Amino acid sequence: MFCNRIQNPILRGAAEWLVSIGLAVLLFFVVRGFLFRTAHVDGGSMSPTLIHGDMLILNRLTYFISSPKVGDIVAFLYTEESGEYYIKRIVAAPGDVVDLRDGFFYVNEELLNDDFSSEETLVYGDVEFPVTIAKKNYFVLGDDRNGSQDSRFVNVGTVSAEKIVGRANFRIWPFDRVGRVQ
């Protein structure tokens, strides 16, 4: 290494430290950019699973290897202009048909039976149901069905795979709620 060419032991030690710090910073940005990212929950649309102020680690590597799956909590780019990210749960995948009848969601004619929201949905949005999910798109909902801006609304719509930043795997803040996100 070039540090060994430096004769002065103090300068050689300083150069070794600088190289080590530089490599650590480079590694941090590579890992953060390609493998993991953090996200901050802003609002209560994913309550009770996620609450306002939660800090999450997003796994970006997962979707390089496989496609998003129903049940995944994902962060996606809301609009290019805003640079804002939304965090929601995938409830339907490409080819599925989603309907909202009598306050309940149906996917492929089966009642959406999840542990995250059993309340009747009062907010229908402005999307016309039923909705057939296009290739490489996903239908997302907040766990708080009546307090979420999600795929029921034209301004969000179905989410293309390209807009998905990563899957929420782990909560790192607040400390009393640290743990895996499901």
The whole-angstrom separation of Cα 178 and Cα 92 is 28
- Count CA atoms within 13 Å of residue 2 on its CB side: 6
Residue pair 54/69 in contact (Cβ under 8 Å)? The answer is no
Which residue among the candidates 47, 88, 117, 148 is catalytic per the annotation? 88
- In the residue annotation, 135 being an active-site residue is answered as no
Which residue among the candidates 45, 117, 148, 151 is catalytic per the annotation? 45
- In the residue annotation, 88 being an active-site residue is answered as yes
The whole-angstrom separation of Cα 54 and Cα 48 is 11
Q: For 66, phi and psi rounded to 5 degrees?
A: -140, 170
Catalytic residues: 45, 88
